[in-house]
Amino acid sequence: MHGRSLAIAAAIYAAVSVAAAQSSGFAKKGGNPEAAKMKNPVAATAASLAAGKRSYQRLCEKCHDPEGKGNGTAVTETQPPDLTDAKWEFGSSDGEMFAAIHDGTSKDMEGYKERMNDTEIWNVVNYVRSLRAR
């Protein structure tokens, strides 16, 4: 059941990626209605949050900082947005967050599809959401 919903989400996402690739290849600013339709197939269990935290520390913290406020040490020109507030440039749903991480948003925020599989990205989505509650 779990594997099946993952496969369905992957299939939906493949279709969405193809559509996105035909425009710019990056997630869209102002929200992404197609990506918003994607359901997060990974429950935010303790195991998912722990795995998401490991990826976040390895790949994201240098820019987004441990709290997700965007004050990391590797920040160059563009200040990363606060991931703990209610303002989401690329959409606030799990699916839109997935698209921003999977495809990237700009040269400042690269896509992670070569470095993370879909489950790892969903784990990070769950972890980033948990940062808000602190």
Question: Which residues contact ligand HEC (rule: CB under 6 A)?
Answer: 59-60, 62-64, 74, 78, 80-81, 88-90, 97, 100-101, 105-106, 108-109, 112, 124, 128
**Pick 9 or 32: Cβ nearer ligand HEC:** 32
User: From CA 39, how far away is CA 29, in angstroms rounded?
Assistant: 20
- Map tokens 């896509």 to a residue: 111
**Pick 35 or 63: Cβ nearer ligand HEC:** 63
Q: What is the DSSP letter of 57?
A: H
User: From CA 64, how far away is CA 80, in angstroms rounded?
Assistant: 6
Compute the least distance from the CB of residue 44 to ligand HEC, in Å.
Answer: 15
User: From CA 122, how far away is CA 82, in angstroms rounded?
Assistant: 19
Compute the least distance from the CB of residue 86 to ligand HEC, in Å.
Answer: 10
- Map tokens 């303002």 to a residue: 87
**Pick 7 or 29: Cβ nearer ligand HEC:** 29
Compute the least distance from the CB of residue 121 to ligand HEC, in Å.
Answer: 8
Compute the least distance from the CB of residue 102 to ligand HEC, in Å.
Answer: 10
CA terminus-to-terminus distance, the chain: 32
